[in-house]
């Protein structure tokens, strides 16, 4: 009976396929279905679904360079690469120093001229003449700034082109047949020189001393994950700028540069949350200081800061339109699933489509910073100074989205401003600080536990950054609060009898 059923099913299935095939052919013959459309659909299906017929993926120059660089940075050419980058950085530093001196000289000259004009106002100079002097000073400043910006940009482009050509040439030489001495050894022999012995103050170090404390924690009850937490008191830009490192009076690449370079194209990236206003530029305040740090060395792997800003600006309207559409269809969707956070604003609807809102995040990539690969520029406003903000504040919700991005894209180290501020202000009393710290600790813990359910079992490092003006007593209070919120990993002590 089973054999008969199997035979019947097989025969009827074959007949059904034959009938369907005949019907399809008849529709083509009658013109009901276009043969050309049918061919296009089959071609698309085969090229997208069958590997044998798929188009080969095009490898871009950026992908080739990243693979070559990753190979060389993990080879004996490592030291040579770092020395070359360091020599380029020193060249850029000379230009920036000359620029700063030129601008300072011009500002001092203009200040003296303006003071002299104001003292003689009403006698020698009229109000109109003083305004003309101010206008002339402004034009002079613009010309000088444009001149140095152009020179710096040209030098960046030249260095980037030379560096990439050098990397590709060395890689080609390493792939060539071995006959003469190894090309990497030849280059190292040309650049290597014995360093003099370090002096006493160089051994001690001249950099600013950081207050730091580290913890190892467990998250989860059944599937436990282990992570590292670090409490750090320092200026946020100290994590970005390269510190002078001298041995015997000779400036050499700092050791931190090695770690950052080796992990550039890896699954162990470092990110930093950088609090900014809603203007996408680098003209004022800490944003200007950050732009100056970026200009201190050429970025050989990514676009410079202004070019990245231009790309982001072209996408703001699309991102805001998408967020408003999601908010209108599902008010909770923007808070729970959107990678780009959406916040409230007093602007009208037209401004919302072209401006950044509180809680928005835009990302820039860097290879020329000291301890950071990815910058999360988090838009905040004066509301973060209030002691009454809750876990539903747009800035807090954005931290969740930032952590989500970190879990998705192998950013294993993330630095978060613990007080949601880069400096200590008058309203930051002891109670204000402790309340804010407790809120951030609890929210970050909840976000990390939520992300762990996605299967991210890697050990991650979260650095909580506090401003350098904080007292040691307050730092100790924050350090003592952390074990009450996170479960620490305490060693098991076994005593022998």
Q: What is the pLDDT of residues 332-373, one digit of tens each?
A: 554 444 444 333 334 444 455 568 889 999 999 999 999 999
Residues listed for the chain: 497
Question: CA-CA distance, 128 to 125, in Å (whole number)?
Answer: 8
Mean pLDDT to the nearest integer, 473-483: 92
At CA 82, angle to CA 94 and CA 246, rounded to 5? 60
Mean pLDDT to the nearest integer, 442-462: 83
Sheet of 374-379: strand order equals: 361-365, 374-379, 269-276, 411-417, 461-466, 225-233, 211-219, 487-488
Q: Do 273 and 416 form a contact (C-beta atoms < 8 A)?
A: yes
At CA 376, angle to CA 305 and CA 62, rounded to 5? 50
Q: What is the pLDDT of residues 170-197, one digit of tens each?
A: 888 887 754 555 545 544 444 444 444 5
Helices 78-119, 183-191: axis angle to 10 degrees equals: 40
Residue 223 has pLDDT above 80, yes or no: no
Mean pLDDT to the nearest integer, 265-294: 91
| Banded model confidence at residue 434, pLDDT cuts 50, 70, 90 | very high
Residue 269 tokens, joined: 């990236």
Q: What is the pLDDT of residues 361-419, one digit of tens each?
A: 999 999 999 999 999 999 999 999 988 899 999 999 999 999 999 988 989 999 999 99
Residue 341 tokens, joined: 């956070």
Handedness of CA 487, 491, 492, 497 (dihedral sign): negative
pTM score, two decimals?
A: 0.79
Query: What pLDDT does residue 365 have?
Result: 96
Q: Do 395 and 389 form a contact (C-beta atoms < 8 A)?
A: yes
| Banded model confidence at residue 487, pLDDT cuts 50, 70, 90 | confident
Residue 217 tokens, joined: 């924690």
Kindly report the three-state secondary structure assignment for every residue of the chain: CHHHHHHHHHHHHHHHHHHHHHHHHHHHHCCCCCHHHHHHHHHHHHHHHCHHHCCCCCCCHHHHHHHHHHHHHCCCCHHHHHHHHHHHHHHHHHHHHHHHHHHHHHHHHHHHHHHHHHHCECCCECHHHHHHHHHHHHHHHHHHHHHHHHHHHHHHHHHHHHHHHHHHHHHHHHHCCCCCCCHHHHHHHHHCCCCCCCCHHHHHCCCCCCEEEEEEEEECCCCCEEEEEEEEECCHHHHCCCCCCEECCEECCCHHHHHHHHCCCCCCEEEEEEEECCCCCCCCHHHHHHHHHHHCCCCCCCCCHHHHHHHHHHHHHHHHHHHHHHHHHCHHHHHHHCCCCCCCCCCCHHHHCCCCCCCCEEEEECCCCCCCCEEEEEECCHHHHCCCCCCCCHHHHHHHHHHHHHHHCCEEEEEEECCCCCCCCCCCCHHHHHHHHHHHHHHHHHHHHHHHCCCCCCCCEEEEEECCCCCHHHHHHHHHHHHHHCEECCCCCCCCC
Helices 127-175, 61-73: axis angle to 10 degrees equals: 70
Handedness of CA 165, 170, 173, 179 (dihedral sign): positive
The strand pair at 361-365 and 461-466 is best described as unpaired
Query: What pLDDT does residue 246 have?
Result: 61
């Amino acid at each position: 009976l089973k054999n008969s059923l199997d035979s019947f099913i097989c025969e009827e299935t074959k007949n059904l396929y034959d009938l369907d095939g005949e019907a399809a052919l008849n529709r083509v013959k009658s013109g009901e279905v276009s043969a050309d459309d049918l061919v296009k659909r089959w071609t698309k299906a085969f090229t997208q679904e069958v590997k044998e017929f798929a188009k080969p993926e095009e490898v871009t120059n950026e992908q080739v360079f990243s693979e070559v660089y990753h190979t060389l940075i993990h080879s004996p050419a490592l030291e040579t690469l770092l020395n070359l980058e360091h020599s380029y950085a020193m060249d850029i530093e000379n230009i920036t120093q000359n620029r700063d001196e030129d601008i300072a000289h011009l500002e001092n000259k203009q200040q003296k001229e303006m003071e002299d004009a104001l003292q003689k106002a009403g006698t020698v100079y009229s109000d109109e003449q003083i305004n003309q002097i101010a206008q002339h000073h402004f034009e002079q400043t613009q010309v000088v700034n444009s001149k140095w910006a152009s020179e710096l940009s040209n030098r960046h482009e030249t260095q980037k082109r030379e560096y990439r050509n050098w990397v590709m040439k060395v890689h080609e030489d390493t792939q060539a047949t071995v006959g003469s001495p190894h090309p990497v050894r030849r280059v190292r022999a040309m650049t290597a020189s014995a360093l003099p012995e370090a002096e006493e103050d160089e051994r001690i170090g001249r950099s600013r001393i950081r207050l730091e404390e580290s913890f190892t924690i467990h998250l989860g009850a059944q599937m436990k994950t282990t992570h590292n937490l670090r409490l750090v008191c320092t200026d946020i830009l100290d994590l970005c700028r390269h510190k002078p490192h001298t041995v015997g009076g000779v400036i050499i690449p700092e050791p931190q540069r090695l770690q950052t370079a080796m992990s550039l194209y890896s699954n162990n990236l470092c990110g930093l949350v950088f609090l900014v206003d809603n203007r996408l530029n680098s003209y004022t305040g800490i944003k200007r200081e950050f732009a100056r740090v970026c200009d201190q060395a050429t970025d050989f792997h990514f676009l410079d800061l202004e070019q990245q800003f231009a790309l982001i600006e072209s996408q703001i309207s699309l991102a805001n339109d998408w967020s408003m559409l999601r908010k209108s269809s599902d008010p909770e969707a923007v808070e729970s699933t959107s990678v780009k956070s959406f916040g409230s604003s007093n602007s009208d609807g037209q401004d919302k489509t072209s401006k950044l809102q509180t809680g928005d995040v835009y990302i820039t990539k860097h290879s020329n910073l000291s301890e950071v690969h990815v910058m999360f520029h988090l838009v905040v406003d004066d509301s973060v100074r209030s002691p009454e903000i809750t876990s539903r504040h747009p800035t807090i919700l954005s931290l969740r989205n930032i952590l989500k991005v970190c879990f998705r894209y192998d950013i294993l180290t993330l630095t978060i401003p613990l007080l949601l501020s880069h400096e200590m202000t008058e309203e930051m009393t002891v109670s204000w600080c402790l309340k804010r710290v407790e809120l951030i600790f609890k929210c970050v813990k909840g976000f990390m536990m939520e992300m762990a359910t996605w299967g991210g079992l890697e050990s991650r490092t979260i650095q909580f950054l506090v401003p350098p003006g904080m007292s040691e007593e307050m730092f100790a209070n924050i350090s003592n609060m952390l074990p009450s919120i996170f479960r620490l990993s305490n060693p098991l002590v076994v005593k022998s009898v």
